[in-house]
Amino acid sequence: METPEAQRRPFPVVRAGLPLTSPIDWLRRGASDLKAGGFASLFYGICFAAGGFVLFMAFRHAVQLVTAVTAGFMLLGPFLALGLYELSRRRETGETLSLAATLTVWKRNISCFGIYSLILIVIYLVWARASLVIFALFYQGGMPTLGSFMTQLLKFDNIEFMLAYLVVGGFFAMLVFAVSVVSIPMMLERNEDTITAMLASFLALVRNLPMMLIWGALIVLLTALGIALAFVGLIITMPLVGHATWHAYRALIQHPAP
């Protein structure tokens, strides 16, 4: 139940019309935070790399669940990134940057983070089920191994399956992106409730759609690059994205008046 203070709090002011080059500036600022954070930032990158590798190994013989693995990675990401957001926030305010100070930051707004987790888990489960249905309806030749699956993709075999897979996967990826753009940083810094944070995140996407599509594409590119480098690249690319996301939040959501 919301407190009277939360009920009186106005809806966050979401900026519109940010330049298309904004994501490059966020990455530049994120790289500066990564350098300043040192091992504390890289620790979360190591967690990303380890988590990605474990998920890959778990599902490498069940390619029909690759979309679910992607969803799981997106579910894991925002919460590992909490520590990165806190590091960026602490650097912004001149506080000491340390790993220990970020490990329990989730306790600040645990109820809202918990609700957010449940919502993402529901999306994750629906996404996983949709992936299985698409394989059952469109994929020819039984459930593939990773090697046979990649061979079909490279040969452009089974176009109907590929189109259905990309459309459905793209829909769920966009849905997760829409409700996650700035929601976690808002819940961390401003103790916003889950629904308000997710609505503000969605509004930020809608009001800056072309620029946010560029930002989403950069996130996908950096994630794919990290994975392509045997997951080791995630040690750098994921903290970079996490720190940059804090600056995206700062740019998209107007800071409340004191």
Cα 20 to chain centroid distance, Å, stands at: 20
Cα 76 to chain centroid distance, Å, stands at: 8
pLDDT of residue 1: 42
Q: Tell which residue, 186, 169, 185, has the closest CA to residue 220.
A: 169
Question: pLDDT tens across 29-55, in order?
Answer: 999 999 999 999 999 999 989 887 877
Burial label for 245, CB within 10 Å (0-12, 13-18, 19+), is buried
Tokens of 62: 């069940």
pLDDT of residue 189: 92
| Cβ pair 203, 161 in contact under 8 A | no
Q: What is the pTM for the complete model shown?
A: 0.86
DSSP character for 109? G
pLDDT of residue 140: 66
Domain ranges of the chain: 19-252
Cα 13 to chain centroid distance, Å, stands at: 22
Q: Which parts of the chain have pLDDT scores under 70?
A: 1-8, 58-76, 140-157, 257-258
Distance of CA 152 to CAs 70, 137, 146, 225, Å? 20, 16, 10, 22
pLDDT of residue 2: 46
Which residue matches tokens 């976690």? Answer: 184
Separation of alpha carbons 199 and 179, rounded Å: 7
